């Protein structure tokens, strides 16, 4: 990421604040500079800001709204960072990829999944939001393009049909790629409904995790456990999802009873609507093509979930 001269005068700082509002949600960087004319001089405002979405809950999982900036502390690679931008309970538009496991192992619960997903679509979609709907079994299939049309999205969910195999990694890679191409000024999230039994993906775990990190999307998983005993089920996908979620932010909700699924969708909806947006300029400036690690802490007895990694562009621009 190329270095940009700091803005030293007050008008320039005002311009800088305006530009902040155009930055991406999720952990992302925008490695360009803006040049404008003022009184015959060229002003350059840095826009290599990193932005982090943070969800804060109490021990019972209830979102904690109304926190102030001074409640948050942020560090990159162990170095404290100055929070330059703070937005409480951001209302930035949201792009969601809804991924539904259609493997044979979920067949008996499929109608519960689709009914709950339809309710979730009605609850979560707000003006300006879009959603894409996908099903995955041995392959990943798009059922609806990203759209704000609630009726079309509901109809797409009703078309989910069972298949063989479970390609969790492929589903995450596809969703990550789709969301990465969305506008950077929007928030991004993957909502994955699965039994966690990875069996047929072409993608490997490391590639999947890197794709998810690079997308800037949060990952919310509803994990339906058909067998409570870990020794009696395929846990490869479960363990991978735990690791990926820890890297990219989001949450995992584990169901031992399919009747809990509606409540889990409702919790995801509440969390998506009570997020804090933090922005900072990394100091020292990170090298290009590097994997950076972030730590966010909140004063008080709270649980904070956020993206713990981001990747800088691989080449200087």
Q: Domain check: are 19 and 168 in the same one?
A: no
Residue-level pLDDT at 136:
95
pLDDT band at 224 (very low <50, low <70, confident <90, very high): confident
300, pLDDT greater than 60: yes
pLDDT digits (tens, 9 = 90+) for 150-160: 999 999 999 99
Judge whether 4 lies within some domain: no
175, pLDDT greater than 90: yes
pLDDT digits (tens, 9 = 90+) for 227-286: 555 555 567 788 999 999 999 999 999 887 888 899 999 999 999 989 999 999 999 999
Q: Domain check: are 259 and 296 in the same one?
A: no
Residue-level pLDDT at 313:
83
Judge whether 17 lies within some domain: yes
Judge whether 287 lies within some domain: yes
Judge whether 316 lies within some domain: no
34, pLDDT greater than 80: no
Instruction: State the total domains in the chain.
Output: 2
pLDDT band at 60 (very low <50, low <70, confident <90, very high): confident
Is residue 254 within 8 A of residue 223, CB to CB? The reply is: yes
- b/e per residue, 250-287, with b = 16+ CB within 10 A? bbbbebeebebbbebbebbbbbbbbbbbbbbbbeeebe
Q: Domain check: are 58 and 189 in the same one?
A: no
Q: Domain check: are 73 and 99 in the same one?
A: no
> Which structural domain, as residue segments, surrounds residue 104?
94-272
Q: Domain check: are 23 and 159 in the same one?
A: no
Residue-level pLDDT at 258:
81
Q: Domain check: are 124 and 72 in the same one?
A: no
104, pLDDT greater than 60: yes
**Confidence (pTM):** 0.82
Is residue 168 within 8 A of residue 237, CB to CB? The reply is: yes
Q: Which residues pair with 52 in a beta bridge?
A: 278
Q: Domain check: are 230 and 161 in the same one?
A: yes
Which 3 state secondary structure label does DSSP give 163? strand
| CA 39/CA 132 separation, integer angstroms | 47
């Amino acid at each position: 990421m190329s270095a940009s001269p700091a803005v030293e005068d007050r008008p320039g700082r005002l311009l800088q604040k305006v530009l902040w509002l155009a930055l991406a949600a999720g952990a992302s960087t925008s490695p360009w500079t803006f040049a404008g004319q003022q009184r015959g001089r060229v002003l350059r405002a840095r826009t290599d800001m990193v932005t982090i979405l943070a969800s804060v809950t109490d021990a019972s999982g209830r979102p904690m709204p109304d926190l102030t900036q001074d409640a948050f502390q942020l560090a990159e690679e162990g170095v404290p960072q100055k929070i330059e931008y703070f937005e409480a309970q951001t209302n930035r538009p949201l792009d969601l990829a809804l991924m539904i496991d259609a493997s044979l192992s979920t067949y008996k619960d499929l109608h519960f999944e689709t009914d709950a997903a339809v309710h979730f679509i009605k609850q979560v979609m707000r003006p300006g939001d879009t959603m894409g709907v996908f099903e995955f079994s041995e392959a990943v299939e798009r059922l609806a393009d990203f759209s704000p049309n609630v009726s079309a999205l509901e109809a797409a969910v009703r078309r989910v049909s069972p298949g063989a195999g479970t390609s969790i990694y492929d589903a995450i890679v596809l969703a990550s790629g789709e969301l990465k191409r969305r506008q950077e000024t929007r928030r991004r999230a993957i909502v994955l409904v699965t039994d966690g039994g990875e069996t047929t993906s072409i993608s490997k775990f490391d590639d999947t995790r890197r794709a998810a990190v690079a997308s800037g999307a949060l990952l919310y998983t509803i994990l339906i456990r058909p067998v409570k005993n870990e020794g009696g089920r395929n846990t490869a996908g479960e363990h991978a999802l735990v690791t990926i979620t820890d890297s990219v932010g989001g949450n995992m909700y584990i169901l031992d009873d399919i009747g809990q699924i509606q409540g889990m969708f409702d919790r995801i909806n509440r969390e998506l609507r009570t997020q804090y947006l933090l922005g900072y300029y990394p100091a020292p400036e990170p090298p290009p093509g590097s994997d950076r690690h972030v730590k966010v802490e909140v004063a008080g007895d709270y649980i904070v979930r956020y993206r713990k990694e981001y990747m800088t562009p691989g080449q200087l621009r």
